Amino acid sequence: QVQLAESGGGSVQAGGSLRLSCAASGKTDTTKTMAWFRQTPGKQREVAACVLTPGSVIYYEDSVTGRFTISHDNAKNTLYLQMNNLKPEDTALYYCAAGDHFNCFEGVLPAAFNFWGRGTQVTVSP
């Protein structure tokens, strides 16, 4: 089992920045992919960014490309999402996810991930 704990969400104005963190604990040695998903009421959870661990493959959803940066600190077992130039449409509940297979690509589904955090709310006002 892997436990994931997100932090760093909050409320900002458009154009602002936030950094999300996801601390992983437990049996993390089998983790191959980590990701940030986001979800708004009435919509499906969608991947915003993902990264292979270990590895260098990174994917960003089109709307966040150039504004968000995903990174993973192996020594700290922590996943980050640096979010710059935030827009109101980025408002969502952001979830950290970990999976035991190499699944980092456009449209990867939540079902591809074994473990989830509880989510952290990001609210961007105009």
Each residue's pLDDT expressed in tens, for the chain with a length of 126 residues: 999 999 999 999 999 999 999 999 999 999 999 999 999 999 999 999 999 987 778 999 999 999 999 999 989 999 999 999 999 999 999 999 999 999 999 999 999 999 999 999 999 999
- Shortest CA distance to 50 belongs to which of 77, 29, 79? 79
- Shortest CA distance to 90 belongs to which of 39, 55, 45? 39
Q: What is the pLDDT of residue 53?
A: 86
**Pairwise CA distance, residues 96 & 54, whole Å:** 17
**Chain centroid, CA 80 distance in Å:** 7
What count of Cα atoms within 13 Å lies in the side-chain half-sphere of residue 23?
A: 5
